[in-house]
Chains A and B, each alone.
Chain A
């Protein structure tokens, strides 16, 4: 399949099951909601070393949030429920409870409940107040700037991590420009995050390594500087490859995000130095969800 001079490989991205939750952070203004959300989703690019993958889903207008203040929706993904619950609690405690004027709400009421403010309330040292409003329990924790309001629990659902596609370009600059265009389009899709810095990964990995201690290592088949040394996937004109990784609540969410992202890249096309779109395909070693590029773009 060729779109605007860009070859879309007949391949697929492999993704794996995860557990996820969505939370809403509000604050006095959008600036402080975003500061808290950015802190909470920091160092959360990959479950390999960060414990969870997290990102900002979107900013929310005051009329969309529970308390009528500007807010930010955040998605967090982990490999298991216990890990996710721990990560949510730790990050909420250190990054949201501490951020001035913020409040914390569940953004997902389906699935199994996990603690959001359930244990953070003990920071109130006995002065915390419970309020059950509209069937949901909230905690009012006295803090130095007033009160920290938090919902007791948030919903945890089954989700998918590791959806991806690769952008192969004639130069590093052109690859990055295409990634930026893709990310801008993908950020409009609900229920997905692109957890890596700016949504883009330059160090895509393969499963396994020559070093026994490592479970993953550089994806040498897509490294342009190794074209002559390894069994390369790159043709001579490709000088740079970047990857976009997508975590989403459902298969449909990821498919939608991949489609708009690839469309944005193809809109730049061959004149902008974009030659191919491929995907992280590890021969079935990674996960049960397969996202076929040509089917998504059909």
Chain B
């Protein structure tokens, strides 16, 4: 069976919520039911067939085609299957995701992978603010899975993150890993200001020395840490330069903090 493909046939002026277009919901629907299902568009709802043309039958592989940058909540709560986005995606991509895989050819807006539980998200472009974070007002961010961004990410990536890993090949904005409870964030490019602000636990693994480190982080010296080879090996399946950087991370400079919070987090800076 060929992939179930949704091609946008109109230019969207408002945000479209496509959270229902996941394997878990579509597996039991026939094509007629799919075409007539309602999707929230702005403050109203609209039949799917008025916006998308449909091809293919296999809901375990879903493809979004066209000017998809205003499609929000792609893969929300999905537990299985593959979603491929051939262009950009909107906000809340992979929100509450519990399994499966999302591949985005372009970039995504804010709150990607927010409160994600498990699965894999691959972004070939950039990601907006609050990647892997908690929703506004919530205190539990991403709690599992892996997100790989080949480009840059906005501010507050990993805010309130609890478990799982963000792998960022490009640069990260301000407040990276702020208020982290646990988990791992790897950044191969530059990082912004207020790195690890108020982080309680967790690891920020950086290939480049940041411009500044908060005074509430304590210098613990340079070390060889046994878990890093294991960590890098776990990312071997990603198309990231990280998997070839074991020598770079052979030695890391460890800063423990943030002592204004629990203080058991760490910033590890490559010193190999």
Contacts and interface: CB of A to CB of B under 8 A. Distances in A.
A232 B225 CA distance: 61
Interface in B187-236: 201, 203, 223-227, 229-231, 233-234
Interface stretch (A124-132, A176-184, A273-281): A124-132
B165 to A, nearest CB: 8
Interface stretch (A78-86, A106-114, A133-141, A242-250): A133-141
Given A130-B182, A131-B184, A131-B203, A67 B226 contact: yes
Interface residues of B, number: 19
A68 B227 contact: no
A129 B223 contact: no
Contacts of B231: 131, 133
A146 B224 CA distance: 8
A67 B234 contact: no
A127 B265 CA distance: 10
A133 B227 contact: yes
Given A129-B201, A129-B264, A132-B163, A149 B224 contact: no
B195 to A, nearest CB: 18
A68 B225 contact: no
A130 B246 CA distance: 21
A160 interface: no
Contact of A67 (B182, B184, B229, B264): B229
B212 to A, nearest CB: 24
Nearest to B266: A129
Interface SS, A side: strand
Interface string A51-81: 0000000000000001110000000000000
A25 B224 CA distance: 18
Contact of B223 (A131, A134, A146): A146
B237 to A, nearest CB: 10
Contacts of B226: 67, 103, 140, 146-147, 149
A138 B225 CA distance: 13
Nearest to A26: B226
A140 B231 CA distance: 13
B112 to A, nearest CB: 21
Given A133-B231, A134-B234, A147 B163 contact: no
A66 B233 CA distance: 9
Nearest to B165: A133
Interface in B244-272: 246, 264, 266
B268 to A, nearest CB: 11
Contacts of A138: 227, 230
Contacts of B246: 68
B163 to A, nearest CB: 6
B116 to A, nearest CB: 14
Given A130-B182, A140-B226, 15 more contacts: A67-B226, A67-B229, A67-B230, A68-B246, A129-B203, A131-B203, A132-B163, A134-B230, A134-B233, A138-B227, A138-B230, A146-B223, A146-B224, A147-B225, A149-B226
Interface of A: 66-68, 103, 127, 129-134, 138, 140, 146-147, 149
25 contacts: A67-B226, A67-B230, A68-B229, A129-B203, A130-B182, A131-B184, A131-B227, A131-B230, A131-B231, A132-B144, A132-B163, A133-B231, A134-B230, A134-B233, A138-B227, A138-B230, A140-B226, A140-B227, A146-B224, A146-B225, A147-B223, A147-B226, A147-B227, A149-B227, A149-B230
Interface of B: 144, 163, 182, 184, 201, 203, 223-227, 229-231, 233-234, 246, 264, 266
**Which 9 residue pairs are nearest across A and B when measured between Cβ atoms?**
A149-B226, A134-B234, A133-B234, A67-B229, A103-B226, A68-B229, A133-B230, A131-B227, A149-B227
